[in-house]
């Protein structure tokens, strides 16, 4: 029986030098074909059924969460990820970073559709406190699976800049 060499790499001659930065054109073409096979156009998906689902879809997509399948990200995205995605759409009016990445959300507990949130503000005397808390409540209640939202506003531990994500620190020029 004859053995066949199935190596797709071209053979190097004895005097050929190896360039570690060289790119194999056959590999690049193969990767491009695989990527094209996995990529779909937005127009390939039908629109979400309701405005609530569309809002949660938008929040999840902007936060980079989930995979959109059949146009409805809500069916395939766990509730906790939807909640985090929604938090990433809520901003302190005085700071251009969302409250989740600022580190203002200390705890999220979900049980049978009831969301318990423990969060803080950047300062106890924050003039936007009522606005932020109400924004959290309204946006979380807009998620279809959420039945109720309980918000516990705490100031221990006090918020400080070390609680921010690296993305928030970069956005605010702290890195």
Average pLDDT rounded to a whole number, residues 41-66: 43
Q: What is the pLDDT of residue 100?
A: 97
Distances (CA, A) of 154 to 96, 104, 119, 124, 133: 22, 10, 6, 9, 12
C-beta neighbour count of 69 within 10 angstroms: 12
CB 93 within 8 A of CB 134: no
Q: Which residue would you say has higher pLDDT here, 155 or 11? A: 155
Task: Give the pLDDT band (50/70/90) at residue 175.
Answer: confident
3-state secondary structure of 115: strand
Return the CA Rg of the chain.
24
| pLDDT one-digit tens code per residue, 78-115 | 999 999 999 999 999 999 999 999 999 999 999 999 99
Quote the pLDDT of residue 58. 55
H and E: helices and strands count for the chain:
5, 3
Predicted pLDDT of residue 149: 98
pTM greater than the 0.85 cutoff: no
Asked if the model's pLDDT at residue 56 lies above 60, the reply is: no
| Residue 147 CB-density burial (10 A; 0-12 exposed, 13-18 middle, 19+ buried) | exposed
Question: For the segment 101-156, what is each residue's pLDDT rounded down to a tens digit?
Answer: 999 999 999 999 999 999 999 999 999 999 999 999 999 999 999 999 999 999 99
């Amino acid at each position: 029986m004859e053995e066949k060499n199935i190596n797709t790499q071209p053979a190097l001659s004895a005097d050929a030098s190896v360039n570690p930065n060289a790119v194999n054109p056959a590999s690049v073409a193969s990767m491009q074909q695989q990527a094209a096979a996995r990529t779909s156009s937005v127009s390939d998906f039908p629109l979400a059924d309701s405005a609530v689902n569309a809002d949660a879809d938008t929040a999840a997509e902007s936060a980079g969460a989930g995979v959109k399948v059949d146009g409805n990200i809500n069916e395939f995205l766990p509730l906790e990820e939807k909640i985090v995605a929604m938090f990433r759409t809520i901003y302190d009016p005085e700071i251009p970073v969302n409250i989740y990445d600022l580190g203002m959300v200390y705890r999220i507990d979900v049980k049978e559709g009831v969301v318990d949130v423990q969060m803080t503000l950047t300062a106890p005397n924050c003039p936007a406190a009522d606005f932020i808390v109400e924004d959290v409540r309204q946006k979380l209640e807009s998620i279809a699976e959420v039945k109720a939202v309980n918000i516990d506003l705490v100031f221990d531990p006090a918020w400080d800049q070390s609680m921010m994500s690296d993305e928030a620190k970069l956005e605010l020029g702290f890195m």
